[in-house]
Amino acid sequence: MQVKLLRVIQEKSVRPVGSQTEQPVDVRFLSATHKNLAKEVEQGRLRQDLFFRINVIELSVPSLRERAEDIPELALNLLQKIAQENAAPMCQLSEEASVEMQQYHFPGNVRELENILQRAATLCEDNIIRASNLEFIRLPSMQGSANRVMPEPNDANDRKQSGASSEFSLEKHLEAIEIEAIEKALEETRWNKTAAAKKLGMSFRSLRYRLKKLGLE
């Protein structure tokens, strides 16, 4: 695929499916990625000549965690969008909720922000989103875990207490990873579900089931 794309950029022509002749094209390429392309070239996953062809003007958009001060304004725009799509009154973000969101690291960036707001807008009362309405995926700190020996619980009560004190939900964490992988495959295949299923190594029926279960349809 990279060779074909490089040839289109260089020759400025394409051969339509089923045709024996090439047709000239006059197009402008805009590409986006969350990966470090220079590193991809170093590791042999991206052709160097293609990288230099597409990397003419680079616009770096910092992740949400690097611009926490923008979160309240982004949240306001997203809440307006959610209200319009659902034909419902627009929810407001309380000050405590705004502070809480600015302290979160948002591994899923703007898409995760929108999902959190959609859920909160559904659960909140009086159209006011409070901190208690926000549901974040908080990963436990792994720093120093390799050198730390955790004591084993002495009895069933200790086990029960240690499990209840943890805020981390493995099920939600795995679900978030699955959603990200499926959405990435769909974006890379231009929402062709058959191609996305093949890319994910599953059947078309399995993908449709996962989409429905995860609320992605």
pLDDT in tens, 152-195: 444 444 444 444 444 566 677 777 888 888 888 888 888 888 88
Going along the chain from its start, the domains and CATH numbers come out as 2-15+24-54 (no CATH), 64-133 (1.10.8.60), 168-217 (1.10.10.60)
The predicted structure's pLDDT at residue 153: 44
pLDDT for res 6? 86
pLDDT at residue 173, rounded to an integer? 76
Query: Measuring CA to CA, how many Å separate 87 from each of 76, 114, 116, 127, 130?
Result: 16, 17, 19, 13, 21
**pLDDT under 50 in the chain at which residues?**
140-166
pLDDT at 146: 37
Look at residue 170 in the predicted model and tell me its pLDDT. 66
**Are the beta carbons of 72 and 102 closer than 8 angstroms?**
yes
Q: What amino acid occupies position 161?
A: Q
Helices (H), 26-147: 37-42, 48-54, 71-86, 95-102, 109-123
| C-alpha distances in Å from residue 153, one per residue of 163, 165, 214 | 11, 13, 35
Please state the φ and ψ torsions of residue 125, each to the nearest 5 degrees.
-115, 150
| pTM metric for this prediction | 0.48
